[in-house]
Structure 1
């Protein structure tokens, strides 16, 4: 009888321990699952809290020209204050829009019918306006000017020779005053660009103007045909499809272009000194240099700043 009781007690003890172990195991399993669910929830919450990145660019002193035609059949141009609403303005989409992941303004251009005077190419490009909405107030080399931007080539197509299509990413454009325009009998205020900076097959290339006749009078050099193109200059650094900084510093008789803060090209010759007769304004964006069918490029600007 005693042995029987001992056997019963042993069976009950073993049963109790087995049930207890199973409960503990189940409890542990549920706990691990809860932890995993909690971690996932926290991760999703963290992703939702991710901040939207915006470009560090004040557009209150810029107008923009796009590859879209306006009601008059000309290239669309939007000035301040309307340009400040570029992110929601249907006229500007998809030519100028935010990439909120990288914090940049994307300038998209392709060959279209929306060309401007004296060119066959199209652009999605900013034009400096010292006085918002007014193109008649500009600056001279003697007054000085500085422009700095952080940008990158995001996408571009290739030409038939396998090279990437190139685009102009920065400019300094000359402009005749109304008096100079009337003096030479020109119908508009257009003057040549003293500076064109290209993204050219992964490199940064600089082109400037040179006076054909150094003895030309101040009136003669107001004519566009008084100026020719220099041979151009390529910076040694290859920027490819990476971010880079460009800075242009202008002072009396001098122009300096700086790539990534450590490579310089200085222009301080007679051509720069004679250029002082013109007014100027900065341009920045995507002035696409191809008419190939299906060609396009996208330039991202993260920062753009001008000072005088």
Structure 2
């Protein structure tokens, strides 16, 4: 009987010691775990979110905004003032930085502030080879390349439920002062040889064709000598995702590249004839609607031009 009691006591003692040790280990583990969690929280609090900036040098661009200046014309910001656009109150609603995405947002909607010869408004960049000067431009013989990484952030729909269209890149023609005077025009405007649209989630390209291939070098300077082609649609759908566009021009040739996978090349007689004009690149948001309440926002993450 005594031996039995001893065994019981020994068993209870062992159980008590074991339970106490387990309890201490558990408390120790919980404490260590709590400490680690607390440290992680402190680290997160200590980390400041770094602002992302777009990879875009604006020193050779001016912007046209969908708001009027004191003369009733679209407000423009040229270099070097454009470098501080983010601090300018007049630009903030239409051209601003999204520091979470690292992009410049171009916002446009119908207003009474329209550029000449169009019914649409824009928040759009215009290349200036010489900052602040519109008179120095390039020809296809001199060549040039424009590369961009962008995305449609937001765009409204029309009454049929279809997304409004937006021109996101252009090559615009320009008359020299001598050409302007030769044909008796009052400005240097010439047609755009290239318009690239975001069109219902896809990329559509439009270019110009000469109505009369036998027209003289003077006759082709007139805007009404040119007509629109049928247009070209890239197969892939970009939707609201980020995508890349590249435009390469050289003498008698124009190449458009989407996402480095699809290509559209123009090497016709029409492109060769176009060589008579000077040109400049454009990029941003040229909104193609006058519907009430309509708007679009286009994000540019990268934009680069070379000649």
Q: What is the TM-score normalised by the length of structure 2?
A: 0.91
Q: Residue 51 of structure 2 corresponds to which residue in structure 1? A: 52
Q: Residue 43 of structure 2 corresponds to which residue in structure 1? A: 42
Q: Residue 121 of structure 2 corresponds to which residue in structure 1? A: 122
TM-superposed deviation, 1:102: 1.1
Map 1:120-199 to 2 at 5 A: 120-199=119-198
Q: Secondary structure at the match of 1:87?
A: helix
Q: Secondary structure at the match of 1:271?
A: helix
**Per-residue CA shift, 1:266-303, capped at 9, x if unaligned?**
11111101111100000000000001111111111111
TM-superposed deviation, 1:238: 0.7
**Per-residue CA shift, 1:22-67, capped at 9, x if unaligned?**
7776665544433322221122223x2x321111111000000011
Distance 1:78 1:108 in 2: 15
**Per-residue CA shift, 1:67-122, capped at 9, x if unaligned?**
11111111110000000001111121121111111111111111111100000000
Any runs of at least 4 consecutive aligned residues in structure 1 with deviations exceeding 6 A, and if so which? 16-25
Distance 2:145 2:20 in 1: 80
Q: Secondary structure at the match of 1:293?
A: coil
Q: Does 1:80 align with 2:79?
A: yes
Q: Secondary structure at the match of 1:151?
A: strand
**Per-residue CA shift, 1:102-149, capped at 9, x if unaligned?**
111111111111100000000000000000000000000111111111
Distance 1:208 1:25 in 2: 74
Map 1:1-308 to 2 at 5 A: 29-46=30-47, 48=48, 50-308=49-307
Q: Residue 4 of structure 2 corresponds to which residue in structure 1? A: none
Q: Residue 5 of structure 1 corresponds to which residue in structure 2? A: none
Residue ranges of structure 2 left out of the alignment (5+ in a row): 1-9
Q: How many residues align?
A: 296
**Per-residue CA shift, 1:188-229, capped at 9, x if unaligned?**
000000000000000000000111111111111111111011
